[in-house]
Amino acid sequence: MEHSVILDPASARAFLDGRKTQLRVAAGHRLAQLPVGTRIYGREACAPGRFQDGAEILTDLKRAQFVAFADGWRQDRDGHRWQAKPPHDPNEMWISAVHMPAWACRVVLELCGVSTERLQDIRRPALLAEGVAPVLGGLLWRGPKPLPGLHRSANRAFAAHWDTTHPVPGLRYADNPVVSVLDLKLAD
């Protein structure tokens, strides 16, 4: 996975569902320097598992037959996917996205374009492309599921999600950093 990005569970699911087609990264980020058409692999936290006596059990990564993701989806070493209940056991052996094996990658994106703007310059079409969704006909807004919380505006929903994944001073929404906007699509 030469070019990869760490995705939180909400963003990974939004890309897979087609609700997210943009990703903002700090200006100068290595992904913003890539040529159009480059594949970018989404890395996610996952729990390695295997089957024993017909039941799923958690195991170490070396013996894993599949991985489980926070949204309940499983993927095996051959790329087959199936839905199951989301893992909730606090003793599960989650591995960080940085250590996710290549065979477990389920989000492969293709870079379609790059632009630059101030973070707070984001407008409604771009908010929707970032996975922000209206609730109750737009009276309330929410960031990409499963991130909790309803907000009075699309901008507030985006800001809450951004600050969850970018808590570093200088990169927070209130700091209004310059960002590169990556236009992406799921790769074929």
Task: Give residue 57's pLDDT band: very low, low, confident or very high (50, 70, 90).
Answer: confident
Judging by beta carbons within 10 Å of its beta carbon (0-12, 13-18, 19+), is residue 140 exposed, middle or buried?
middle
Which positions ≥6 away from 165 have C-beta within 8 Å?
A: 8, 11
Q: Are residues 115 and 158 in the same domain?
A: yes
Give me the number of domains the chain comprises: 2
As given in the structure block, the two tokens for residue 5 are: 């990005």
Cα distance between the two ends of the chain: 16
Q: What amino acid is encoded at 3 in this protein?
A: H
Q: Per residue in 131-187, pLDDT tens?
A: 888 888 888 888 776 566 888 899 999 999 899 889 999 999 999 999 999 999 999
Domain boundary among 60, 92, 124: 92
Each residue of 80-94: pLDDT tens digit? 999 999 887 666 788
Q: Say yes or no: 116 and 88 in one domain.
A: no
Q: Tell me what pLDDT residue 140 has.
A: 86
Residue 140: inside a domain: yes
What CATH number is given to the structural domain containing 114?
A: 2.30.130
Phi and psi at residue 68, to the nearest 5°:
-110, 140
pLDDT at site 79: 93
The reply to whether 83 and 125 lie within a common domain is no
Say if 126 falls within a structural domain.
yes
111 and 168 co-located in one domain:
yes
With respect to residue 99, please indicate whether it lies within any of the assigned structural domains: no
Does residue 25 lie within any of the structural domains?
A: yes
Regarding whether 37 and 54 lie in a shared domain, the answer is: no
Are 176 and 133 members of one domain? Answer: yes
CA separation for the pair 50, 60 (Å, rounded):
9
Based on the fold, state whether residues 25 and 111 are members of the same structural domain: yes
User: What is residue 89's predicted lDDT score, i.e. its pLDDT?
Assistant: 67
pLDDT at 142: 84
DSSP β-bridge partners for residue 110:
39, 185
For residues 58 and 122, membership in a common domain is answered with: no
If we measure between CA atoms, which residue out of 138, 146, 147, 129 comes closest to residue 15? 129
Give the mean pLDDT of the chain: 91
pLDDT at 145: 65
| Whole-angstrom distance, CA of residue 6 vs CA of residue 29 | 13
- Say whether pTM exceeds 0.95: no
Q: Are residues 27 and 53 in the same domain?
A: no
* Residues spanned by the domain of 71: 49-92
82 within domain boundaries: yes
The phi and psi torsions of 29 (rounded to 5 degrees) equal -60, 145
Residue 172 lies in a domain: yes
Residues 27 and 61 occupy one common structural domain:
no
State the average pLDDT over residues 33-58: 94
Handedness of CA 57, 106, 73, 166 (dihedral sign): positive
Clarify whether residues 61 and 139 are in a common domain: no
Cis status of the peptide bond prior to 146, with omega within 30 of 0: yes
Position with higher pLDDT, 11 vs 117? 117
Q: Are residues 114 and 172 in the same domain?
A: yes
In a domain, 28, yes or no: yes
Q: Where a domain ends, among 57, 92, 127?
A: 92
The rounded percent of the chain whose pLDDT value lies above 90 is 70
